[in-house]
Structure 1
Amino acid sequence: MSAYEKEREANIARNRAILEQLDLKDAASQLGVPAKSKSQTKPKAKPVQPKKRPRQESEPVAPRRQSARLMKEVIDLNESPVTKQKREAERERIAKQAEQERLEAEERERIAKRPRHQDLDLFTTLGEQNGTDIATLRTALGSATKDVHAKRVSDLDAFVFDTDKGNAAEVKDLRDRLHKLKIVSRAKVTGNRVYSAAYHPDKTKDLVFFGDKHGQLGIWDARAPTEEGADEDGDVTANDATEGGKYWQLQNHWPASPKSSISSIKFDPTDAHSVITASYDCTIRRLSFISGISEELFSSEDTLVSNIDLAPNQHEMWISTANGTIINLDLRQDKSKARWYDLQDQKIGSISVNPTNPHYLLTASNNRTLKVWDIRMLRTLQSGKSLNTSSEPYRFDYDTMQNFIESKRGQGFLRGEFGHGKSVSSAFWDPRGRSIVSTSYDDTIRLWELDSAKLGSSTSFPSFTPFCRIRHNCQTGKWLTILRAVWSPNPDVYPHFTIAGIRDHAVYVYSCKGDLLAKLADSTKVTATQAVTCSHPEVVERVATGNASGRCVLWAPPDP
């Protein structure tokens, strides 16, 4: 070897030793250092893969357009003037017919992009899914109607202890029960990002409803037996990435675009035999489990519905909108009887009805405030000038409402108000109607507790400040659904709520006092933020979550 080659080999050996010390695997491998074996690397989580549906026969192809040159007629120079006139008339008729067909096709396309206001059956909402899916869906929904699942509420003074020992005992019991939760089922329930979720109260099965970004309602029977079969290529797969349970995807709102995102899901509080969905297409629909018909309860031309809530065991619905209006709708009346109250000039992101004192409403707004309203005071509000006498005859504009709030007649309408550092993304009452939890873009979870004396006051609350603040990252940005702290609707246990973690992809469970009860996480199966959470109304050990790709997870004790 020449002196140059010897020096080059020495430099390579020296550099290889330095790279090995710095643990630069890629650079070292380029110099001939063998990389570590694959067995030493940690296995990465594989996302659950949706089941492949059987191939459908292609539709007949429409005739292709031909060029005018190829379609040019061969003109007979000896044809008579009458024949020439008939030929030109026929050509003009064909051109007019083609233009009419084009205009009709464009009109059909415009109509197809508008919200659907008519009643929809399962065959329409399921779309391309076959008759077998309709039969199994009817069976799943029918089983949920065997019992009446009326919404249950707790007592205002439930789980109130004189000493901290009582709270500590309840916290320990919940920690022991929630510690058992593991991932028992996964599936890609919706085609797009999950926006909302609700857990059906039936205890015999885990029936979870998810609303996605494109107006699709995913119904997931998470523990249903899976039918193992071949996919469209004839392959049979059974591994950890296989979907669990059975799900159906209903296009409940239209068009299938971000203009139809399902913002809220609620069950009928009297029997839970129907599900109510609110959408950005400015409509609210109710799907009956018995008939399978989706009917429209509310619609508007340009009022985006951000959230809905229903009074327990009543037919009264409250709606919050993106323009700062709250709407009161009696489900036994026509939607034209709805009363509109323009409370604010910015979006109200959530609305919550107090379960034990339904005359108290809780709103969270983009104007950085959380407010408690006493709707009994609205009875004294005289009818003002309607903004639309034909379809909205009971609307009170912003100036009317502000004058009412500041007037003597309106004293006590606004009971409590608290300003946050940034926009308030959500605020909800607990099942007792005593505690409040709010989330805000100032990265803080706040907790309030109101006793009987405060709720029974005739004017504004003597004090309305949170007793607990929890630091929590709520910066979801553009591609994640807004994080919301959601109470468990179970009235038989110590009040607690769930909220997603962004960085660690975990689900956090806190008590009504701010104690961390559990952190649900599994890095081998979950690698995305579970932005939307919900809990079973009857079973403590059940939590369901969904992420931005439509993949959903059920957390429960593993089967023995």
Structure 2
Amino acid sequence: MAGNGRGATCLIHPGIRFLATYFGHFSSSREHHPDIKPGIGNMSDFEDEREANIARNRALLAEFDVSLDVPKTVVKEKGKAKPVQPAKKRVKRDVKPVLPVRQSTRLRRTAPDPNETPEKKRKREQEEELLRQKLEQEKLELEEHARQAKKPRHESLEMYAHLEDQDAPEVMALTSTLQETIKTANPRRVGDMKSYLYDEERHTTAVDELKEKMRKLKIVSRAKVTRERVYSAAYHPEITKDLIFFGDKHGSLGIWDARAPKEEVDEDGNAAAQDDGEGGKSWRIQLHWPSTSRSSISSIKFDPTDAHSVYTSSYDGTIRHTSFVSAISQELYHDESALPTSLDLPPHGYEMWISDTNGGVTHLDLREDKSKARWYQLSEDKIGCVSINPVFPHLFLTASNSRMLRIWDARKLQSMPVKGSGPWEINADIIEEFGETKKGKCTLRGEWKHGKSATAGYWDPHGRRIVSTSYDDTIRIWDIKPEFMTKDAEFPTSRPAHQFHHNCQTGKWVTLLRAQWSPNIDAYPHFTIGNMDRSLDIRSWKGELIVKLMDKTKITAVQAVTCSHPSIVERAASGNASGRCVLWAPESDS
């Protein structure tokens, strides 16, 4: 116990506190009653004894140095005011139809008039029955509307009717942009298998020249092209503009004219261009439905003959063809039992191969009805990627979760006998038995096993090299000689020509990394791939790092999806999980 004078903080025994309170109250009561005065005549012996006790207790309290004053209340200093936080942006969400609230007939029924006639009663009951039937019909219509909203759309769609912003200026701007792309055909160019077969000295020189060009790439434009995570991307071959298509997690196709001038209105009401690094013009079209993760656009390919239309595959089970000329999107194929993971077309453009999550690939001849489609089970696990050799279109490869990268001969598969009128499903046992026959020999031309799931594999534009990505954190590159392509024989078993370590552990919230060849046949063979350190890596076909594109001041997320221009070397684009996309190009280019 300590006391340092008046107002000091101290600990008081409960008994002493009680005495102090009691006697303090008694003494104060005497002060408020002037009729009671000290003296022998006015106090009894008991009162004298009590006064003596009070005096002793006061002396005892004084000995302990205890103050009866109430301590002052300590007022805490108020903290500093927090800075004003910016208001959170409200995201517009789709308003779901509100079903009518269920209500019993008894509550809806009006109180009957005790004096109503039988005719009025009959009329009232008829009105109540009509009201009940109307409410029930409205409920059924809303429930059916909700069910239909969750189903994929199979009808032909008018492209501009499903544009997110349907204002007249937006529609006109997109129409003008797409009309410019159909002025020239821009067919897919195919390289020569014997090109770029350099010795080591010429190879080093070519790589150095490529490095010199790629070092000039900077972020010249960026924008939030899609609402959700970017799943796929494709660079349009038009050379007069940088037009890039992105598919997102909720079935929306984002179209980004990355170098289009961004306009704003100045104080005088005139349009003035601004250049702040956030640029271009973008549009979003809801091609696949419903707008949920069940409609993710897994692959985007332009028509290889003229690039006047685009093909998209989606997890809603549909393959769509959207024409820039007619502005109509049509369904080409639909399969509810499997999710399409990728698609590819040969240079002639009249057939298509589609991989799916059931371990199969579907062959679709675009000149025939979709009922003629054939489904081949080529793996026990999901096939995440299919790629067609551009020089030898009968050879295509598949990369699957079974850890295998396999090359198939489409001519052999299509020669298999089938029964019925189609569509045909050919399971793995039938394919295996057919492969053991003389006619089916070499249906499987070659295979290579990876340490973990092979997430992707692609032929280069020269039809000679293959790059594969795997969850074992290794990028592998194969170089297959032309003489093995022409022979009707299996490819020799061999190790990859080149391989290197690359972190591919994307996890749940980042799109799988896929090494993508540059489709430019005039440039030394190279490919792009996203990096978990938030960079975009460009490497030669031998795996040498040409450049690591990154900017920590402008990029804070993994650039998982990448693509590059088919004709311009110094062009690359990337997208991340938030839907924000980046264009890499020399700052000097207009």
Larger radius of gyration: 2
% identical equivalent positions: 53
Give the match's secondary structure for 1:91: helix
The ranges of structure 1 where at least 4 consecutive aligned residues each deviate by more than 3 angstroms after the TM superposition are 61-72, 236-240
Give the match's secondary structure for 1:508: strand
Task: Tell me how far 1:399 sits from its aligned partner.
Answer: 1.9
Q: Is the 8 A contact 1:194 1:550 kept in 2?
A: yes
CA distance in 2, matches of 1:380, 1:556: 47
Give the match's secondary structure for 1:228: strand
Task: Give the aligned partner of residue 67 of structure 2.
Answer: none
Give the match's secondary structure for 1:138: helix
Q: Is the 8 A contact 1:369 1:424 kept in 2?
A: yes
- Is 2:413 the counterpart of 1:378? yes
CA distance in 2, matches of 1:264, 1:119: 20
Q: Is the 8 A contact 1:505 1:528 kept in 2?
A: yes
Q: Is the 8 A contact 1:373 1:416 kept in 2?
A: yes
Query: Which one of 246, 250, 260 corresponds to residue 210 of structure 1?
Result: 246
- Is 2:398 the counterpart of 1:363? yes
Task: Give the aligned partner of residue 252 of structure 1.
Answer: 287
Amino acid at match of 1:130: D
Query: Which one of 77, 85, 108 corresponds to residue 122 of structure 2?
Result: 85
- Is 2:283 the counterpart of 1:281? no
- Is 2:257 the counterpart of 1:227? no
- Is 2:579 the counterpart of 1:542? no
Task: Tell me how far 1:395 sits from its aligned partner.
Answer: 2.4
Q: Is the 8 A contact 2:262 2:275 kept in 1?
A: no
Deviations 1:7-50 (A, max 9, x none): xxxxxxxxxxxxxxxxxxxxxxxxxxxxxxxxxxxxxxxxxxxx
Amino acid at match of 2:354: I
- Is 2:159 the counterpart of 1:130? no
Amino acid at match of 1:473: N
Task: Tell me how far 1:327 sits from its aligned partner.
Answer: 1.1
Task: Tell me how far 1:484 sits from its aligned partner.
Answer: 0.1
Amino acid at match of 1:170: A
Task: Tell me how far 1:293 sits from its aligned partner.
Answer: 0.7
Gaps of 5+ in 1: 1-50, 231-235
1:2-401 equivalences in 2 (<5 Å): 73-161=110-198, 163-229=199-265, 240=276, 243-383=278-418, 385=419, 392-401=422-431
Task: Tell me how far 1:333 sits from its aligned partner.
Answer: 1.6
Query: Which one of 502, 517, 529 corresponds to residue 558 of structure 2?
Result: 529
- Is 2:587 the counterpart of 1:558? yes
Task: Tell me how far 1:492 sits from its aligned partner.
Answer: 0.7
CA distance in 1, matches of 2:479, 2:327: 41
Q: So what's the TM-score if we normalise by structure 1?
A: 0.84
Task: Tell me how far 1:249 sits from its aligned partner.
Answer: 0.2
Q: Is the 8 A contact 1:508 1:519 kept in 2?
A: yes
CA distance in 2, matches of 1:74, 1:238: 69
CA distance in 2, matches of 1:52, 1:353: 45
Q: Is the 8 A contact 1:122 1:134 kept in 2?
A: no
Task: Tell me how far 1:406 sits from its aligned partner.
Answer: 2.9
Distance verdict in 2 for CA 1:85–1:264, change over 3 Å? same
1:384-463 equivalences in 2 (<5 Å): 385=419, 392-463=422-493
Task: Tell me how far 1:207 sits from its aligned partner.
Answer: 0.2
Gaps of 5+ in 2: 1-88, 267-271
Q: Is the 8 A contact 2:476 2:496 kept in 1?
A: yes
The aligned length equals 496
Distance verdict in 2 for CA 1:71–1:128, change over 3 Å? farther
Task: Tell me how far 1:62 sits from its aligned partner.
Answer: 11
Task: Tell me how far 1:297 sits from its aligned partner.
Answer: 1.2
Q: Is the 8 A contact 1:215 1:252 kept in 2?
A: yes
Task: Give the aligned partner of residue 14 of structure 2.
Answer: none
Mean Cα deviation higher: 459-468 or 175-184: 459-468
Distance verdict in 2 for CA 1:131–1:267, change over 3 Å? same
Task: Tell me how far 1:346 sits from its aligned partner.
Answer: 1.0
Task: Tell me how far 1:69 sits from its aligned partner.
Answer: 9.3
CA distance in 2, matches of 1:337, 1:156: 33
Amino acid at match of 1:409: K
Q: So what's the TM-score if we normalise by structure 2?
A: 0.80
Give the match's secondary structure for 1:399: helix
Q: Is the 8 A contact 1:343 1:402 kept in 2?
A: no
Deviations 1:444-489 (A, max 9, x none): 0001001112222321112332021110010111111010000000
Amino acid at match of 1:471: H
Task: Give the aligned partner of residue 38 of structure 1.
Answer: none
CA distance in 2, matches of 1:62, 1:100: 11
| RMSD of aligned Cα (Å) | 2.7
Give the match's secondary structure for 1:326: strand
CA distance in 2, matches of 1:208, 1:220: 5
Task: Tell me how far 1:341 sits from its aligned partner.
Answer: 1.1
Task: Tell me how far 1:114 sits from its aligned partner.
Answer: 1.0
Q: Is the 8 A contact 1:269 1:312 kept in 2?
A: yes
Task: Tell me how far 1:515 sits from its aligned partner.
Answer: 1.0
Deviations 1:143-175 (A, max 9, x none): 0011110100100111002x2011111101110
Amino acid at match of 2:235: Y
Task: Give the aligned partner of residue 505 of structure 1.
Answer: 534
CA distance in 1, matches of 2:103, 2:444: 70
Give the match's secondary structure for 2:432: helix
CA distance in 2, matches of 1:329, 1:449: 29
CA distance in 2, matches of 1:459, 1:74: 89
- Is 2:552 the counterpart of 1:516? no
Task: Tell me how far 1:133 sits from its aligned partner.
Answer: 1.1
Task: Tell me how far 1:559 sits from its aligned partner.
Answer: 3.2
CA distance in 2, matches of 1:405, 1:159: 35
CA distance in 1, matches of 2:466, 2:210: 19
Amino acid at match of 2:208: K
Query: Which one of 500, 517, 531 corresponds to residue 487 of structure 1?
Result: 517
Q: Is the 8 A contact 1:362 1:428 kept in 2?
A: yes
Give the match's secondary structure for 2:134: helix
